[in-house]
Amino acid sequence: MTTKTGTEGVAAAAQSCCQERAGAPSAMPSSSAELISKYRIGVENFDRRVFELTEEQLDRAFLPDAGVGRWPVRVLLGHLADAEVVFSHRMRRAVGEDHPVVALWDENAFIDSGIYNGAPIAGFIAAIHTLRRWTGEWLSSLDESKMQRKILHPEKGEMTVHQILVYATWHLEHHGEYLRKKVDKMLGPAGKGSCGSGCGCHSR
């Protein structure tokens, strides 16, 4: 079941997707090199059929019983772009500064403000791709001592670059799965004979 609400009330209707799963990241590579490789996959986690969605479908919010997450696709992609900015900046501050204290980010306030309303999704996806490429190349240049540099998070305490990277990698994969579910809900599963849901292929 779905309901067309755009961004109005979406954040208020659900807890912060990331805060409620603060302990969720798991099964990530332990070595920095493997983790960086996984991180650099980036937008390849997305179902390419997202570009086939209409404007109405991009702004369609879902009720809890749909099992695909409540946020509209446009909001989800906007959130992911902003999250990439936050994660990249925190990692760079950890390396560039001496134990910096980072600010909290109120993701629900961003949604309630309407900041994503009507924004083209191509810009969100391009921003994610660019940030992942830039940050991934930079991370690959760091030695292990730099990966253990820390920030001080107001709620989570000390976090190393490696720990931020684990969360950032999981975050995109986690939301990429919900994006796939939303696209499948609106367009149907990827066609039989394709290389899998999210590949963007169509059976002939």
- Assigned domain for 164 exists: yes
Query: The pTM is what?
Result: 0.84
Residue 29's pLDDT band, with cuts at 50, 70 and 90, is confident
- Residue 23 pLDDT greater than 70, yes or no: no
Mean pLDDT of the chain: 86
**Domains of the chain: total:** 1
- Residue 196 pLDDT greater than 70, yes or no: no
Which structural domain, as residue segments, surrounds residue 173? 2-6+30-187
pLDDT at 25: 66
3-state secondary structure the chain: CEEECCCCCHHHHCCCCCHHHCCCCCCCCCCHHHHHHHHCCHHHHCCHHHHHCCHHHHCEEECHHHCCCCCCHHHHHHHHHHHHHHHHHHHHHHHHCCCCECCCCCHHHHHHCCCCCCCCHHHHHHHHHHHHHHHHHHHHCCCHHHHCCEEEECCCEEEEHHHHHHHHHHHHHHHHHHHHHHHHHHHCCCCCCCCCCCCCCCCC
- Assigned domain for 155 exists: yes
pLDDT at 11: 44
Q: What is the CATH number of the domain that holds 96?
A: 1.20.120.450
